[in-house]
C-alpha cells in the first residue's frame, strides 16, 4: 500500500515486503486455487462479472493471514468481498481456507492497495472498506508511511457508495488518534460514533487471535466507523 506524499509528489510505501516463509501448504494453495479466487485486474473491475451476481461489495485492505475475511465471508453469504494483501503466506493461507470452506464470495488481489484502489475500483462501487490493524509504523520518523493519510482517505471515500462505511481498527493509541483526526477532516465522511469519538467494536468485526492475545495483555483496541454521507 502506498500513499502520496503531497509535499514532494512522491509515492511513499506504507508496507515492507517481508520475506516470510511460505509453507508447502500455502504454496500449494496459491498454485491450486489462485485461478479460482485470484484477480489480476486490468482496468476497472466489473464486480457483477467477477462474482456473477449483484450484491453489496466490501474491500479489505491488508487482510494479513485472512482470518477475519474468512469469518466475514462465511457469516455473510449475501455479501461479496475483495481482499488485498502483499504478503504471500497470508495469500496462500486465505486461498486454502476459501477452498476448504467452499466459499465463493471472496476474491483476492496481490499488490499495493493504493494502486489497486486508484486504478481498479470504480467510484461509488463499495458498500464498505475494512482496514483492520494496519502497520502502525511506531517510530515518529516513519509516521509518513502510515496508510491512513488525507489523500488516501479521500480516495477511499470516493469509492464508497452513499451510505457505505469505512471501518478501521488499531491497537496503537497514537495511530488511533491520527486516524480519528484524518477521517474527521474528510468532508464526505460522517463519524457514526459522534464527532471526535471512537466506536464500540461492532459484533460484526471478528476478533483475530492477535487481537485476543493483546486484549489479554491489557492492550487497548480502537474502532472507527465512518459513513459516506453526501
Q: What is the Cα–Cα distance from 5 to 150, expressed in whole angstroms?
A: 10
HEC sequence for the chain: CEEEECCCCEEEECCCCCCCCCCHHHHHHHHHHHHHHEECCCCCCCHHHHHCCCCCEEEEECCCCCHHHHHHHHHCCCCEEEEEECCHHHHHHHHHHHHHHCCCCEEEEECCHHHHHHHHCCCCCEEEEEEECCCCCCCHHHHHHCCCCHHHHHHHHHHEEEEEEEEEEECCHHHHHHHHHHHHCCCCEEECCCCCCCECCCCCCCCCHHHHHHHHCCCCCEEEEEEECC
The CA distance from 150 to 67, in Å, is: 28
Asked if 135 is an active-site residue, the reply is: yes
Active-site choice (135, 158, 171, 223) = 135
Catalytic annotation, residues: 135
Amino acid at each position: 500500500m502506498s500513499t502520496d506524499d503531497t509535499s514532494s509528489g512522491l509515492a511513499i510505501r506504507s508496507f515492507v515486503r517481508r520475506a516470510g516463509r511460505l509453507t508447502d501448504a500455502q504454496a500449494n494453495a496459491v498454485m491450486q486455487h489462485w485461478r479460482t479466487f485470484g484477480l489480476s485486474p486490468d482496468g476497472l473491475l466489473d464486480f457483477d462479472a467477477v462474482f456473477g451476481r449483484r450484491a453489496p461489495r466490501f474491500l479489505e485492505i491488508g487482510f494479513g493471514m485472512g482470518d477475519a475475511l474468512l469469518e466475514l465471508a462465511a457469516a455473510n453469504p449475501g455479501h461479496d468481498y475483495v481482499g488485498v494483501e502483499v504478503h504471500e503466506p497470508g495469500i496462500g493461507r486465505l486461498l486454502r481456507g476459501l477452498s476448504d470452506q467452499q466459499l465463493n464470495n471472496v476474491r483476492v488481489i496481490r499488490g499495493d492497495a493504493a494502486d489497486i484502489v486508484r486504478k481498479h475500483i470504480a467510484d461509488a462501487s463499495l458498500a464498505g472498506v475494512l482496514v483492520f490493524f494496519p502497520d502502525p509504523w511506531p517510530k515518529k520518523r516513519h509516521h509518513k508511511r502510515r496508510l491512513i493519510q488525507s489523500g488516501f482517505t479521500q480516495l477511499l471515500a470516493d469509492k464508497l457508495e452513499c451510505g457505505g462505511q469505512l471501518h478501521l481498527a488499531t491497537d496503537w493509541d497514537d495511530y488511533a488518534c491520527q486516524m480519528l483526526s484524518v477521517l474527521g477532516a474528510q468532508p464526505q465522511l460522517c463519524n457514526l460514533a459522534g464527532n471526535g469519538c471512537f466506536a464500540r467494536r461492532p459484533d460484526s468485526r471478528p476478533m483475530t487471535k492477535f487481537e485476543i492475545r493483546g486484549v489479554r495483555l491489557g492492550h487497548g483496541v480502537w474502532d472507527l466507523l465512518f459513513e459516506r454521507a453526501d
